[in-house]
């Protein structure tokens, strides 16, 4: 080792300045490294959060689409059932009409009875009363002019 007397004071001061600079450089490097690491971690967390949000949004979309599809399917099934029942009702009515028509050709006296019943039904519909004074259907409300006469 060298004695202190061999180096002037200025060399010690220069060494201290160099050491300060070097320590500052090391500290800045470590701080920059810490900042870079923090940025990497923040970037990863943001990415993970974004992926979680995207996953939630995708699940919400799947649930919405599933509920829409099931609603449409239920509506379709209901409409199909209604159309089938309506078709069966029409088919049954057509069969009844056909059977009565065929029967009227074989038994003309029943055909006359059916015509008489239809005329009576029409008369009941128009008057609202059956023979004997019984009320069978509700009459339309009378206006004030027709009620006075």
Dihedral in degrees, nearest 10, Cα atoms 83, 88, 89, 94:
130
User: What pLDDT is recorded for position 136?
Assistant: 45
In Å, what is the CA distance from 107 to each residue of 60, 92, 95?
69, 22, 18
Please, are residues 135 and 128 in contact by the beta-carbon 8 Å criterion? yes
Give every CB contact of residue 111 below 8 A, 6+ residues apart in sequence.
104, 105
Would you give per-residue pLDDT tens digits along the chain (149 residues)? Answer: 455 566 666 888 899 999 999 999 999 999 999 999 999 999 999 999 999 999 999 999 999 999 999 999 999 999 999 999 999 988 888 888 788 777 777 766 666 676 777 777 777 667 665 555 544 444 444 555 555 54
Model pTM? 0.41
């Amino acid at each position: 080792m060298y004695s202190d007397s061999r180096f002037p004071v200025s060399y010690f001061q220069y060494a201290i300045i160099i050491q300060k600079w070097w320590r500052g450089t090391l500290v800045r490097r470590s701080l920059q490294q810490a900042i870079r690491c923090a940025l990497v971690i923040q970037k990863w967390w943001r990415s993970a959060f974004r992926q979680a949000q995207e996953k939630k949004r995708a699940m919400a979309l799947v649930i919405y689409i599933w509920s829409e599809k099931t609603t449409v399917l239920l509506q379709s099934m209901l409409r199909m059932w209604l159309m089938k029942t309506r078709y069966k009702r029409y088919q049954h009515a057509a069969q009844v009409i056909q059977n009565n028509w065929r029967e009227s050709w074989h038994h003309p006296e029943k055909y006359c009875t059916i015509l008489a019943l239809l005329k009576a039904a029409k008369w009941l519909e128009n008057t609202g009363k059956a023979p004997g004074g019984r009320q069978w259907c509700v009459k339309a409300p009378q206006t004030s002019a027709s009620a006075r006469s």
